[in-house]
Amino acid sequence: MNYEIKGNVVPCVEVSLNRGESMFTQSGGMFYQTEGIKMATNTKGGLLKGIGRMFAGESMFMATYTAMQDAKIAFASTVPGSILPVDVSKGSFTIQKGAFLAAESSVDLRTTFNKKLGNGFFGGEGFILQELRGDGMAFLEIDGDAIEMDLAPGEVIKIDTGNVVGFENSVRYEVETVKGLGNVFFGGEGLFLTKLTGPGRIILQTMNMNEFALRVRTYIPTSSN
């Protein structure tokens, strides 16, 4: 399998499949395809897995595209940003909800839970995360630009809620309360920060789509205006 990321503002990833190779994505993720590709839609792993993906911000049903001959297929972003390839063969990777775009069929997308309830209820990204395992390439959808870092053992970075895309499983994930009532109410950063502790690779995104949507909402005329 070969791939090429095309576009800048709202990019897509075009994948060249040999006969017998396949990719899967959430419903509606396919952009275009050439002749010779067969589509199958199912819950990919059973009903419980499908329900878990719904809580993680993905679709319940997954679409699998199998090449019946050499063919090409593309998957596109839904918001301005970038697409980042991740080689799952190098180790499992935990991602936040909405970050998954597409992957080879040899990759397993699992729903996982935060180890601490506080992380899920107050971390801003939900109680349920997703884990990529197996062998092959996966593609993540990034809001804005992707920022990659390699944390040393014990190295700590604190990130604004919603700007974490994913991290290697060697990285410890926690949620920390912002100190000081003035900072909480007037600092503009909310009540919680995500704390990641190395070692391991982490991926961040420069745009928080939830904050962007709230900003846009202030410009929408209402009946009272």
Residues with Cβ within 8 Å of 162's Cβ and at least 6 positions away in sequence, in order, are 124, 125, 208, 209, 210, 211
Are 21 and 1 in contact, with CB atoms under 8 Å apart?
A: yes
Q: What is the pLDDT of residue 183?
A: 43
Confidence of residue 172 (pLDDT cuts 50, 70, 90): very high
CA distance 22 to 68: 9
Q: What is the mean pLDDT of residues 167-188?
A: 68
Q: What is the pLDDT of residue 121?
A: 47
Q: In this structure, which amino acid lies at residue 113?
A: F
pLDDT at 84 over 60: yes
pLDDT at 207 over 90: no
Tell me the pLDDT tens digit for each residue of 140-168. 999 999 999 999 999 999 998 789 999 99
Tell me the pLDDT tens digit for each residue of 25-41. 987 789 999 999 999 98
First to last CA, the chain: 54
Tell me the pLDDT tens digit for each residue of 99-138. 999 999 999 998 876 655 454 444 444 457 889 999 999 9
Residues with Cβ within 8 Å of 19's Cβ and at least 6 positions away in sequence, in order, are 67, 68, 69, 70
pLDDT at 50 over 60: no
Radius of gyration of the chain (CA): 19
Q: What is the pLDDT of residue 5?
A: 97
